[in-house]
Structure 1
Amino acid sequence: MVFCGTPSFSWLDLFFVFACLVGCFVRRVIATLPESMPELCLIRLGIQVRSVRAVFYAIRLARAIDRSAAEAIVAGAGLLHSERFSLGRKHFGVWQYWRSFEDLEAWSHRPPHSEWWRQAVERMRTKGDLGIYHETFLVPRDRIESIYLDCAPAGLAVFGTTGEPVGSMTASRGRLGRG
Structure 2
Amino acid sequence: MARTGSGIHCGRYTNQPVDAAVVFLIGMRFNAIHRPDRWAPVFTAMPKMLKYLAQRPEVGMMAYDLWFGRTTLALTYWRSVQHLQDFASDREAPHLEPWRAFMRRVGDDGTVGIWHETYEISPGSHETVYANMPAFGLGKAVGVRPVGAGTTTARRRMQEAGTGRQLTG
Task: Sort the TM-score into its range (normalised by shorter chain).
Answer: 0.7 to 0.9
User: Within 2, Cα distance between the matches of 1:145 and 1:57?
Assistant: 39
Equivalent residue letter for 1:115:
E
Q: Deviations over 1:87-117 (max 9, x none)?
A: xx32112111110111101100123111111
**Contact kept in structure 1, 2:65 and 2:74, CA below 8 Å:** yes
Matches within 5 A, 1:99-178: 99-110=79-90, 111-125=93-107, 127-177=109-159
Q: Alpha-carbon deviation of 1:56?
A: 6.9
Paired residue total: 149
Matching residue within 2, 5, 12 for 1:28: 12
**Contact kept in structure 1, 2:38 and 2:105, CA below 8 Å:** no
Matching residue within 48, 51, 55 for 1:70: 51
**Contact kept in structure 2, 1:62 and 1:93, CA below 8 Å:** no
Equivalent residue letter for 1:32:
Q
Q: Secondary structure at the match of 1:83?
A: strand
Q: Alpha-carbon deviation of 1:132?
A: 0.9
Q: Secondary structure at the match of 2:134?
A: coil
RMSD over equivalenced CA pairs, Å: 2.3
With the length of structure 2 as denominator, give the TM-score of the two structures.
0.77
Equivalent residue letter for 2:62:
L
Q: List runs of 5+ in structure 1 lacking aligned partners.
A: 1-25
**Contact kept in structure 2, 1:32 and 1:146, CA below 8 Å:** no
**Contact kept in structure 2, 1:124 and 1:131, CA below 8 Å:** no
With the length of structure 1 as denominator, give the TM-score of the two structures.
0.73
Which structure dedicates a bigger proportion of its chain to helix? 1
4+ runs of 1 displaced by more than 6 Å?
none
C-alpha distance 67-107 of structure 1, shift in aligned 2 (>3 A): same
C-alpha distance 78-60 of structure 1, shift in aligned 2 (>3 A): same
C-alpha distance 176-64 of structure 1, shift in aligned 2 (>3 A): same
Q: List runs of 5+ in structure 2 lacking aligned partners.
A: 1-9, 161-166
